[in-house]
Structure 1
Amino acid sequence: MSAEPHQPESTNPDKEEADRAHCDWNFRLATVVSPPASRPEASDVIGAIELDPSDRLLATAGIARKIRFYTLATLLPHNPPAFLSHSSACDFYLCTPAKLSSLRFRPATGSRLIAAADYDGVVTEYDLENRESVFERHDHNGRRVWSVDFSAAGDLGASGSDDGVAKVWDPRSSAAGSPVHAGTGSVCCVEFDRVDNGPYLALGCADRRAYVYDLRATGAGPAAVFGGHERTVTYVRFMGGVRMLSSGTDGSHRLWEAGSRELRAYRGHRNGRSFVGMAVWREGGLIGCGSETNEVFVYDLRWGEPIWVRGFGPAESGFTSAVNWRGAGAGGTDDCTLIAGGSDGVLQFFSCRRNQPAD
Structure 2
Amino acid sequence: MNSPILRSDLDDEDLPSPPPEDRVRCEWDFRLSSVLRPPEGASPAASDALGAIDVDPSNSILATGGMARKIRVYSLTAPTNPCSFFLCTPAKLSCLRFRPDAGGRLIAAADYDGVVTEYDLEHRAAVSERDEHGGRRVWSVDFSPGGALGSSGADDGSALLWDPRCPAGGGSAATIRTGGAPVCCVEFDRADAGPWVGLGCADRRAYVYDLRALGAGPVTAFAGHGGVVTYVRFAGAGRVVSSGTDGAHRLWEAPAGKEVRAFLGHQNRRSFVGLAVWRGGGLIGSGSESNEVFVYDLRWGEPVWVRRFGGGREDGFVGAVCWRGNGSDDECELIAGGSDGVVQIFACRRACSFS
Quickly say closer, same or farther: Cα 1:99–1:341, change in 2 above 3 A: same
Kept after mapping to 2: 8 A contact 1:4/1:308 = no
Match of 2:171 in 1: 176
Shift in Å at residue 357 of structure 1? 6.4
Q: Which whole-Å deviations, capped at 9, do the CAs of 1:227-259 have from their partners, x for residues lacking one?
A: 010000011011122111101111111100121
Shift in Å at residue 56 of structure 1? 1.2
> Aligned to 1:33, which of 24, 32, 36?
36
- Distance in 1 (CA, whole Å) between partners of 2:180 and 2:353 is 52
In the comparison of the two structures, how many residue pairs are matched?
A: 333
Match of 1:67 in 2: 71
Kept after mapping to 2: 8 A contact 1:6/1:307 = no
Q: Which whole-Å deviations, capped at 9, do the CAs of 1:185-215 have from their partners, x for residues lacking one?
A: 2100000112222111100001000001111
Quickly say closer, same or farther: Cα 1:41–1:183, change in 2 above 3 A: same
Does 2:220 correspond to 1:224? Answer: yes
Q: State the identity as a percent.
A: 64
Is the partner of 1:73 in helix, strand or coil? Answer: coil
Does 2:191 correspond to 1:195? Answer: yes
- Distance in 1 (CA, whole Å) between partners of 2:43 and 2:281 is 40
Quickly say closer, same or farther: Cα 1:171–1:232, change in 2 above 3 A: same
- Distance in 1 (CA, whole Å) between partners of 2:197 and 2:45 is 39
> Aligned to 1:285, which of 277, 282, 296?
282
Q: Counterpart amino acid of 2:227?
A: R
Match of 2:112 in 1: 119
Unmatched 5+ residue regions in structure 1?
Answer: 8-18, 76-85
> Aligned to 1:131, which of 110, 124, 127?
124
Q: Counterpart amino acid of 2:305?
A: W
Does 2:50 correspond to 1:46? Answer: yes
Further displaced range: 187-196 or 30-39: 30-39
Q: Counterpart amino acid of 1:318?
A: G
Match of 1:263 in 2: 260
Further displaced range: 29-38 or 259-268: 29-38
Is the partner of 1:32 in helix, strand or coil? Answer: strand
- Distance in 2 (CA, whole Å) between partners of 1:241 and 1:308 is 24
Is the partner of 1:91 in helix, strand or coil? Answer: strand
> Under a length normalisation based on structure 1, what TM-score does the superposition of the two structures give?
0.89
Kept after mapping to 1: 8 A contact 2:160/2:176 = yes
Q: Which whole-Å deviations, capped at 9, do the CAs of 1:253-307 have from their partners, x for residues lacking one?
A: 1100121000111000000001110101110011110111101111111000001
Q: Counterpart amino acid of 1:271?
A: N
- Distance in 2 (CA, whole Å) between partners of 1:42 and 1:299 is 28
Unmatched 5+ residue regions in structure 2?
Answer: 1-15
Kept after mapping to 1: 8 A contact 2:45/2:341 = no
Shift in Å at residue 74 of structure 1? 2.6
Kept after mapping to 2: 8 A contact 1:189/1:235 = yes
Does 2:237 correspond to 1:241? Answer: yes
Does 2:102 correspond to 1:109? Answer: yes
Match of 2:344 in 1: 348
Kept after mapping to 1: 8 A contact 2:45/2:339 = no
Quickly say closer, same or farther: Cα 1:343–1:312, change in 2 above 3 A: same
- Distance in 2 (CA, whole Å) between partners of 1:5 and 1:327 is 28
> Under a length normalisation based on structure 2, what TM-score does the superposition of the two structures give?
0.90
> Aligned to 1:99, which of 78, 82, 92?
92
Q: Counterpart amino acid of 1:327?
A: G
Q: Counterpart amino acid of 1:179?
A: T
4+ residue runs of structure 1 moved beyond 6 angstroms?
A: none
> Aligned to 2:146, which of 153, 172, 188?
153
Shift in Å at residue 41 of structure 1? 7.6
Match of 2:7 in 1: none
Is the partner of 1:219 in helix, strand or coil? Answer: helix
Kept after mapping to 2: 8 A contact 1:3/1:308 = no
Shift in Å at residue 5 of structure 1? 7.2
